[in-house]
Amino acid sequence: MPSSAWMTLILILVTTILLVSNRFRADLISLLVLVTLGLSGLVTLNEALVGFSSSAVITLLAISMMTEGLQQTGISHWLGQQMKRLAGSGEARLLAVIMLAGGSLSLFMNNIAAMGVLLPATKGLSRQKQIPLSRLLMPLSFGVIAGGMATIFTTSNLIVSDALHEAGFATLGMLDFFKIGFPLLILTILYILIIGKKMLPAHEKDSLSADPLYSQENLLQAYHMAGSLWQIRVRFGSALAGMSIREGKWRTVLRLNILGITRDGNFLSALDSNLIICEGDLLLAQGEPSEEKLRDYGVELLTEPPQITENIDLENSFSEIIVAPRSEFIGKTLREIHFRERFNLTVMSLWRAGKPLHMGFAPLPLRAGDGMLVQGSPASMQLLRQERDFIVLEEDPNAAIHPKKAPIAAAIGLITLIIAVWGIFPIALVSMAGAVAMILTGCMSMNNAYQAIEWKAIFLIAGMWPLGTAVQTSGLSDAIASALLNISHSVSPLIFVAILVFVTMALTNIIAGQSAAPIVLAPIGLVVAKATHSDPRMILMAIGLGSSLAFLSPLGHPVNLLVMGAGGYAYKDFARVGWLLTLILIPAILVGLHFLWGL
C-alpha cells in the first residue's frame, strides 16, 4: 500500500478518535481535516474546496431556507398539528408517528427534502408537548434514513443503480429496494420504541430555551390567565346582538375583552372593534365579568374551559413585552398612546409589583419595567420589535408571520417535491429554485433565509468531502478492493456479503458516505461480482443498503447533520443509540438479500 494510502488511513483513524472523544466541535474537526489534506498534498486545492460547491451542501442550504418559508407561513405548524392529533399523549406513540411520517415521506422524495418538511413540525411538537427536542429529532432522522432504504430515490441507491447501468446491467428499481427496505423501516421503528428510546438523550436546553423557544401555555400560566379566560354564548334576543364590539362597550360595561368569535363553525380572530356581534356567537373573552350583569344583557358563561391556544396560535399569538427604561410612553396610559390602534395588538394583562392585573389597567400610567402580555399577529410583533419604547421578551416560535402566503408556500413545496421525485433536474437545483421562489413570493425575507441556514452542517460536509476523494486517489480504495477480492475467494458468499455491508457501513459513518462510500465501492463490487460469478445487482444492492446504515455518526447522512445542532447532540449520542440498531439491521439485510437474490 503506498505511503499516501497509509497517511489517509491514519488521518481517518485520528479523525474518528477526535470525533468520538467530543473534545472539539465536529465542524472544527472537519475543517482541520480539509486543511490537513490540502497542506499534505493528498488532494489538490480544487479537490480540497470542492465540498463547498457539492450537491449535498447546496441541497442543505436550499432545504434550510425552504423549511423557514414553510415555518413562517404556518405550513409546518399545520403538519405538526396533524401529527399531534395522531400521536395522542404518550411519548412512545409520538415517536412512532414521527418515524412513520419520516419513513413514509422518504419513500417518495429525497431524504433531505423529507427531513426539511418534518423538522420544523417536530420542533413545534416538542414545544407543545414539553418533550425535549433531543428525544424526537434522532428518531425522526433514523426513520427518514430507514425509509430511504426502501426506495430508489436515496442518493446511495441511485449511485449503485447508475453504476449497474454504465456497466451494461439492468438497473435496480423501486420495488427491488422496497422488498428489503420496508421491513428494515419497521425494524428501525420497533427498535427505537422498545430499546432505543431508553438511550435517547434528554437535553432540556433544546426543548424550551434554545433559539430561544418557549411554551405559550407557560406564558399564560405565568400571567395567571386561566382564571380570567371565558367562553361566552350570545343568546337569542340578546341586547348586544346586532351591535358592534365598540357599541356594546364590552370592556367598560361588562369588563370583558373579546379575543375571538366562533361563528358557523369558523373561529375568527384579530377582531375589528366594528365587528357586529350576532345571536348564537360563541365568544372567547378575557376579564372579570359579573354573571348577573351578563344575564341582564342576554349572554351566558359556559362551564367548559376555553382552548385558547388551540384556536389562535397561528395568526394571533401571545408575546411578553416590557416598557423600556427610557421610553417616551412612561407616565402615559395605554389609552393616551392608543396602543391597540397604533400597534394592532391587544394588551391582555399588565404585570406590576410582582403580580398581574387583568382588568382596570388601561387608565394606569405606564412605568419603566412594566410587563405586558399582548396578543396579536406575528407581523405586528415584528413591527413592535423596531420600537425603542418597548422590549419584546418572548414570542411564539410556532406563529405564522405570513399566514396568507400559506397556499403559495404549499404550492411551491409540492411542485418542488414532484419535480425532485421525477428526477427531471438535480435535487440541488430544484431545491434552490424552490427556496428562491419562497423569497420572491414573500413567504420569507432574504434575511430570514440567511438566518435559517444550518452552517454547522454545511462545514461538516464540506470539510469531510475531500476525505472521500483522498480515499480514491491515494490508493486506499485499491487496497480495500484487493483485500475484498482476497477474502471473496476464501469465504462463503454469505460471509463475504456480510463483510462488504460492514465495510460499506464503516466508510459511510466515517467519510460522510452517502455519496463517497458507494462511489468508492460500486466499481469494486462490480469487479468482485465478476471474479466470484455473483449477481452484480445483488452485490451493488448490498453496497447501497450498507451505505444507508448511517446510524453511528452524524457524518453518516446529511439528515443527521440537520438534527445535530437543533437536538444538541454530540457524536457519541449517535453511536450510543445506533450501534445496536446497526447490528440488528445487518443480519436483516442479509436475510432480505437471501430471499430476493438467493444469497
Predicted local distance difference test score (pLDDT) of residue 204: 55
Predicted local distance difference test score (pLDDT) of residue 218: 64
Structural domain boundaries in the chain: 3-209+453-592, 216-312, 317-394
Predicted local distance difference test score (pLDDT) of residue 282: 86
Q: Is 444 a residue whose pLDDT tops 70?
A: yes
Q: Is 387 a residue whose pLDDT tops 50?
A: yes
Q: Which CATH number fits domain 317-394: 3.40.50.12280, 3.90.550.10, 3.30.70.1450, 3.40.50.300?
A: 3.30.70.1450
Cα(346)–Cα(55) distance, rounded to whole angstroms? 47
Predicted local distance difference test score (pLDDT) of residue 14: 86
At 15, which amino acid appears? T
Predicted local distance difference test score (pLDDT) of residue 515: 65
Of 332-346, 367-381, 454-468, 541-555, the one with minimum mean pLDDT is 454-468
pLDDT digits (tens, 9 = 90+) for 284-320: 887 778 778 888 888 888 866 555 555 444 456 778 8
Q: Is 505 a residue whose pLDDT tops 80?
A: yes
Q: Is 214 a residue whose pLDDT tops 50?
A: no
Long-range contacts of 346-352 (CB under 8 A, 24+ apart): 346/257, 346/259, 346/374, 346/375, 346/376, 347/372, 347/373, 347/374, 348/223, 348/225, 348/257, 348/259, 348/286, 348/318, 348/373, 348/374, 348/375, 349/223, 349/225, 349/228, 349/373, 351/223
Predicted local distance difference test score (pLDDT) of residue 307: 55
Count of residues in the chain: 599
Mean pLDDT of 371-385: 79
Cα(261)–Cα(232) distance, rounded to whole angstroms? 9
Helix, strand, coil shares of the chain, percent, nearest 5, are: 60, 10, 30
pLDDT digits (tens, 9 = 90+) for 73-91: 877 767 777 777 787 777 8
- Which of the four pLDDT bands, split at 50, 70 and 90, describes residue 36? very high
pLDDT higher at 200 or 320: 200
Give, to the nearest 10 degrees, the angle between helix 536-546 and helix 493-510.
40
pLDDT digits (tens, 9 = 90+) for 97-116: 999 998 988 877 667 767 87
Predicted local distance difference test score (pLDDT) of residue 487: 81
Give domain 216-312's CATH architecture. 2-Layer Sandwich (3.30)
Q: Is 583 a residue whose pLDDT tops 90?
A: yes
Query: Average per-residue pLDDT in the chain?
Result: 81
Predicted local distance difference test score (pLDDT) of residue 399: 60
Q: Is 398 a residue whose pLDDT tops 80?
A: no
Predicted local distance difference test score (pLDDT) of residue 104: 87
Check if the beta carbon of residue 285 is closer than 8 Å to that of residue 259. yes
Predicted local distance difference test score (pLDDT) of residue 213: 36
Q: Is 210 a residue whose pLDDT tops 50?
A: no
pLDDT higher at 259 or 52: 52
Predicted local distance difference test score (pLDDT) of residue 592: 92
Read out DSSP for 459-492? HHHHHHHHHHHHHHHTSHHHHHHHHHHHHHTTS-
Predicted local distance difference test score (pLDDT) of residue 269: 65
Mean pLDDT of 195-222: 63
- Shortest CA distance to 435 belongs to which of 51, 137, 52, 112? 112
Q: What is the pTM of this model?
A: 0.62
